[in-house]
Amino acid sequence: MSVLSATVAPYEGRSVCLFCASSDGADPAYLEAAREFGAATARVGWRLVYGGGGVGLMGASARAAHAADGRVVGIMPGFLRSRERLFDEVETVVVTSMHERKQLMYDNSDAFVVAPGGVGTLEEVVELLSWKRLDLHAKPIIFLNIKGFWDTFFTLVDHSVAEGMTPASFLQAYSVCDTVEDAITLMQQDHEGPVLRFDPR
């Protein structure tokens, strides 16, 4: 792994990384779930690690966590600062690349929650799932499947398994929750997910 040039302030508690959309045009139900998730992380004493933007689901979650006196850290590549409005009221770490952003998010999180999002969110979680399949980590990955947003992705994964491209054990790599309450409960469990035995498929 590469040496990172940016650092995140130490935190003695546990942290959850939220992957989600930065779009302000999202369904209000998704935005409300993001706000609810942010506030809930503060209530249970977890730090929220997120992509640093002040818009869309990212901004909604971070603002709600901050308003509830929660600890929040945003990690933003420098080149996106002119495209996505930062939420400067919380700790924000500016990095040099998308790779460095993802590595810092991973290194500073104990669990990952994946809310509705676009191709950027999909790219982030697919890499995280790939790392898990390669036995590089066993941290929980929880899909917050509001209004069945991720159902078609799960269908694709099932198809890959059925076609012999992905081992069936991969289906244990993630959990699915339909509500914020269930996602919060699951992320607080005191164990990591199963370690997947590597399969060369």
Q: 109 is written with which tokens?
A: 């999180």
Which helix (H) or strand (E) segment holds residue 143: the answer is strand 141-144
What average pLDDT is seen over the chain? 89
- The dihedral sign for the CA sequence 18, 19, 22, 24: negative
Under DSSP, is residue 48 helix (H, G, I), strand (E, B) or coil? strand
Q: Would you place residue 3 in the very low, low, confident or very high pLDDT band (cuts 50, 70, 90)?
A: very low
Under DSSP, is residue 102 helix (H, G, I), strand (E, B) or coil? helix
Q: What CATH number does domain 15-187 carry, 1.10.760.10, 1.20.80.10, 2.40.40.20, 3.40.50.450?
A: 3.40.50.450
In this predicted structure, the answer to whether residue 80 has a pLDDT above a threshold of 70 is yes
pLDDT tens column, 108-161:
999 999 999 999 999 999 999 999 988 889 999 999 999 999 999 999 999 999
pTM: 0.90
In this predicted structure, the answer to whether residue 88 has a pLDDT above a threshold of 90 is no
Mean pLDDT of the 53-77 span: 94
In this predicted structure, the answer to whether residue 171 has a pLDDT above a threshold of 60 is yes
SS3 of 180-201: the string is HHHHHHHHCCCCCCCCCCCCCC
Look at residue 9 in the predicted model and tell me its pLDDT.
87
Least reliable range by pLDDT among 7-16, 72-81, 172-181: 72-81
Mean pLDDT of the 16-35 span: 94
d(CA 194, CA 132): 9
- Domain segments of the chain: what residues? 15-187
SS3 of 133-164: the string is HCCCCCCCEEEECHHHCCHHHHHHHHHHHHCC
Mean pLDDT of the 28-56 span: 96
